[in-house]
Amino acid sequence: MLVVEGLTCCFGSKAAVDDASFAVKPGSFVGVIGRSGAGKSTLLRMINRLAEPTAGRIMFEGQDVTALRGRELRQWRARSAMIFQQFNLVGRLDVLTNVLMGRLAEMPPWRSLVQAWPERDRALAMSALEQFDMGGVAAQRADSLSGGQQQRVAIARALVQEPDIILADEPIASLDPRNTRIVMDALLRINKHFGITVLCNLHSLDLARSYCDRLIGMSNGRIVFDGAPAALTESIARELYDLEANEVMGAASAPQPAGPMLPALGRAAAA
Contact positions vs ligand ATP (CB under 6 A): 11, 16, 34, 36-42
Task: Report the alpha-carbon distance of residue 62 to residue 67 in Å, rounded.
Answer: 12
User: Closest separation between CB of residue 78 and ligand ATP, Å?
Assistant: 23
Nearer CB in complex with ligand ATP: 39/53: 39
Q: Closest by alpha carbon to 47, among 183, 191, 213, 216?
A: 216
Q: Closest by alpha carbon to 163, among 137, 191, 129?
A: 191
Task: Report the alpha-carbon distance of residue 29 to residue 27 in Å, rounded.
Answer: 7
User: Closest separation between CB of residue 43 and ligand ATP, Å?
Assistant: 7
Cα 207 from chain centroid (whole Å): 14
User: Closest separation between CB of residue 197 and ligand ATP, Å?
Assistant: 19
- Cβ neighbours for 107, distance < 8 A, ≥ 6 positions apart: 117, 118, 121
User: Closest separation between CB of residue 34 and ligand ATP, Å?
Assistant: 6
Nearer CB in complex with ligand ATP: 125/154: 154
Nearer CB in complex with ligand ATP: 27/37: 37
Nearer CB in complex with ligand ATP: 34/163: 34
Q: Closest by alpha carbon to 194, among 227, 156, 228?
A: 156
